[in-house]
A and B are shown apart, each in its own frame.
Chain A
């Protein structure tokens, strides 16, 4: 049946495509293509000028060949020629070629830009759109340089056709994404925001993508979009399904626009204006209600469009995290989807519920679906859905369901897809550690993990179990017994041998009383695995053996014999040979006392963030693990180490004890031993049984230097809250203190939440807030901060939380933070905790917007030396632009764009509001990415303010 191709057909092209399709082999295809390329080349080079049609046809053929996956290195000039054709079809093909085969030849770019410029100024909407499409498709920096100034004008001009506006908006978006520094909205900002009110739904749909992107980068400048977006959304949500005519999609009014509106709102906190907020909540409720109504169509398009809006609304509800009622409704809705027959919905519900699980309002509601989720993990046929189920189980896990979830994950591991095993192992290890109430359970779980999925158990996981066993003396005996039993399996994983070797080497004595696990039995068991293991494991076993000699003198002869055997002392592996030689010598010449000192039990490891968690984070990339999750891990990981009550000082000393230096002298022995070929690294050998290569200190030890100690030093606590107002202020095994605060002008209100983490009542609970030096200060000089509060209830029940409100007034600028002292009785013992409250001078900032000229004028006015404070310091964190911006905004100042001539620099301005005076502050932060340094300069009318802010901020970057 012959068919008519729409528009203008190009017969030659169709024939060529047919030929290609008829080629029987790849070779035949290449042959046909080469023939065509030769033909086109000769036509282009030929003397006869080609007419527009032929040129178009050949350019189109080249394009087709390129899209088949072949390289094309000519034809660009002919395509550019087509751009200036006044025949639409020729122009169109020219633009298509240019967009697909982007070329960096500068002469060509100049010609292309010229052609685009002509079309943009042609006032012919069809041509203008073509030109804008081309810019949007290429999106290069050269195009941004040429057109970023012109397009905003087209976008907001009153006489621009709707279709051109739509293209202009998205064209600008593409340029902004590629070269944000070149797209300056400035004076156009408010007119762009008002496109949300445009009559034409298509214009709104296109413009909102641009506005959303700009809002993410400059939320303050675009914040008027919130109320406009809410009213637009409200009109759509309340419209009947036919009101919006062609923008209704399968009975759903404007689904694309609705999703984008809800997405835009996620760039902002909940609206402050009560009326706007009320209207928005109403919209969200309507969307949730509609989900319960019977569908208006059986078509999947109807339900997809409707649910797309629903999921976006749920994302917004989760983003706000402040409406318990909506959160719980969202959770119930997702719960229904968990059992939906559509796989897509089950997938999305699992994914969305993961974020709900981290909200305090909906965590419990999420937990009620545990059986369904476990079932999904077991029965879903699609691995990506099972992955989501595993993620959700991980997210909903807490102390109450940890045993069940860990057991389910372990049993799933036995049959899990290879692609997700490693991640599952990490998750099980983290949960087991985080929620371990008794450590024997923890040890069992990890050993099970090694048994079931040994290949996927990374170093971090088995390091961690050893670390914890070392730090908890109540579990050492159990661990030794369990690992001894596990090693008796005929085929056990090498990771099990490592753990076994290490633990028996340290704590084998705890089970040696039982004749079934007497020293020699232990040794023979370990040694029976020796020959099946890799070099690093053998090295570890040798270290375990020397530890045995110290623990059990009766094994000395047997072990010395092993060390002396040719397979050890003449081992071709340098590391093994060296260990054998050194250990043999050590055991024969050192006195019992020296031996006991050198081979002493490992000191406790310093507390630190779980290395497993760090690994999971790394695996999933930053931002994947919710922040609260990480903080939890950090806190509770430490707890397991035995130490919420241990201060940073003891952590320091522990870490000193486990560095190699103190016992390095003892290795003077080494000089007596035969020196093997490569020995210089062996200094750490004896202290560090972990060390697998001698050259590298155990990662566990190295980690301790990188990561902050668990219980932050007091000033670190302050630093943590300089740029944010909410979070966990303090936590130990008994008590958690959460904080929420808000500031306006010179006033602040702080909510403290004291949570009793135990099941026992706290008695005589009392808190006092004081200002340091309060007692010594002159009675007539007012304190810089006035903090008022009411006493809290003296009894805090187990598991309960009490709230305390502090009203803070800033009288004058200050540099000391107020102190919070908490006293209570727990089981008879008096607990006394003193903390600094994170009230810092920057909390009383009022942001000030100003133009470049103003800024520099004021900067110059503040030029006296004492008005300026400056610090140059090394970057402590990454130098990512977005993070820096977020911090500077969190500081409370206005972040001024386009003020500093160097776009890498940041300048901010604000006024510190105190009761006695207002202090204007200007800030300039100059990053030097190459040197990883910053220069921070603050100028203000008051020297103490400059100085204090400079000190505070230097710790933030």
Chain B
């Protein structure tokens, strides 16, 4: 996988993970263009598209788009399930995850992703193992409560 982007329906990037070395300018440009391309597609269209020299796999969950750019030889369907597994991990960790969770706890979203995918490849596909690793890390931390306003739309119930 070359990179993964999470963005809202308004085109705001919520998470970006780059597995190939690129300059910041280039990342911003690619991100902007790809987001526009995907937002321009109609619902019910195919989840795969050829974009530049890449294959792009994306799926919308509630207000968020999850989008992966993969290599020529990579498998599109299993990439869709990479996305789904990541959503499940977020959901399990946050408890009915919604976009706000990812905005306010963006660092957690990155940590969970690192446990699941590393260097663009699946590192650990077992949900239990990934969550165990994250929980263990959390136990090393002091717990504080943060009060968030939550106009809740759980992602998982609204896969498009």
A interface residues with partner B (beta carbon < 8 Å): 1-11, 14, 17-18, 21, 60, 63-64, 67, 69, 71, 87-89, 92-93, 96, 126, 129, 132-133, 136-137, 139-140, 163, 166-167, 170-171, 173-174, 177-178, 201-202, 205-206, 209, 246-247, 249, 254-257, 259-260, 263, 266, 301, 304-305, 307-308, 311-312, 343-344, 346-348, 381-382, 384-385, 387, 621
Contact = CB atoms under 8 A, between A and B. Distances in A.
A485 to B, nearest CB: 40
A308 B75 contact: yes
The dominant DSSP class at the A interface is: helix
Given A5-B105, A178-B21, A247-B126, A384 B46 contact: yes
A161 to B, nearest CB: 11
Interface in B87-134: 93-94, 103-108, 110-111, 114, 118-129, 133
B48 A348 contact: yes
Nearest to A244: B126
Given A64-B106, A343-B44, A348-B76, A167 B81 contact: no
A64 B53 CA distance: 30
B150 A3 contact: yes
The dominant DSSP class at the B interface is: mixed
A174 B119 contact: yes
Contacts of A136: 118-119
B75 A6 contact: no
Residue in B82, B114, B137 whose Cβ sees the most chain A Cβ within 10 Å: B114
Contacts of B120: 174
A343 B150 contact: no
B138 A96 contact: no
Nearest to B148: A3
Nearest to A206: B123
28 contacts: A2-B145, A4-B146, A5-B104, A6-B108, A9-B146, A18-B149, A21-B103, A67-B106, A69-B28, A88-B141, A129-B133, A133-B114, A139-B119, A166-B124, A174-B118, A177-B119, A205-B122, A206-B122, A206-B124, A247-B126, A255-B78, A263-B73, A304-B84, A308-B78, A312-B78, A381-B44, A384-B45, A387-B50
Contacts of A266: 73
Given A69-B28, A246-B127, 20 more contacts: A3-B150, A8-B144, A21-B103, A93-B107, A132-B118, A139-B119, A166-B118, A166-B124, A205-B123, A206-B122, A209-B121, A209-B122, A249-B85, A256-B122, A263-B73, A312-B75, A347-B46, A348-B77, A381-B45, A384-B50
Contacts of A384: 45-46, 48-50
B137 A126 contact: yes
B13 interface: yes
Contacts of A88: 137, 140-141
B103 A17 contact: yes
A8 B46 contact: no
Nearest to B159: A300
Contact of B45 (A5, A11, A129, A343): A343
Contact of A133 (B16, B48, B78, B118): B118
A206 B84 contact: no
Contact of A621 (B53, B127, B137, B140): B53
Contact of A126 (B48, B80, B140): B140
Interface string B37-51: 000001011111110
Contacts of A9: 144-146
Nearest to A139: B21
Nearest to A347: B46
Contacts of B147: 2-3
Q: Which 10 A/B pairs are nearest by Cβ-Cβ distance?
A: A9-B146, A308-B77, A174-B119, A88-B140, A308-B78, A209-B121, A5-B146, A170-B118, A246-B126, A2-B147
A148 to B, nearest CB: 14
A202 B126 contact: yes
A14 B146 contact: yes
A3 B152 CA distance: 11
Residue in B44, B118, B120, B148 whose Cβ sees the most chain A Cβ within 10 Å: B118
A6 B112 CA distance: 13
Contacts of B105: 5-6
Contacts of A385: 46
Contacts of A87: 140
Interface in B23-67: 24, 28, 42, 44-50, 53
Contacts of A18: 149
A92 B103 contact: no
B136 interface: yes
Contacts of B104: 5, 14, 17
Contact of A89 (B16, B85, B110, B141): B141
Contacts of A129: 133
A382 B94 CA distance: 35
B142 A256 contact: no
Contacts of A2: 145, 147-148
Given A3-B148, A133-B114, A136-B118, A307 B77 contact: yes
Interface string B8-30: 00000100100101001000100
B46 A5 contact: no
Given A202-B129, A304-B80, A381-B45, A4 B124 contact: no
B118 A206 contact: yes
A133 B84 CA distance: 22
Given A7-B141, A343-B46, A1 B146 contact: no
Contacts of B103: 17, 21
A266 B138 CA distance: 41
Given A88-B140, A126-B137, A173 B119 contact: yes
A311 B77 contact: yes
A5 B118 contact: no
Contacts of A260: 122
Contacts of B114: 133, 137
A307 B19 CA distance: 26
Contacts of B127: 246
A177 B16 CA distance: 20
Given A14-B146, A67-B106, A344 B13 contact: no
A690 to B, nearest CB: 33
A170 B123 contact: yes
Nearest to A97: B107
B145 A255 contact: no
Contacts of B19: 174
Contacts of A305: 77-78, 81
B80 A11 contact: no
Contacts of A8: 141-144
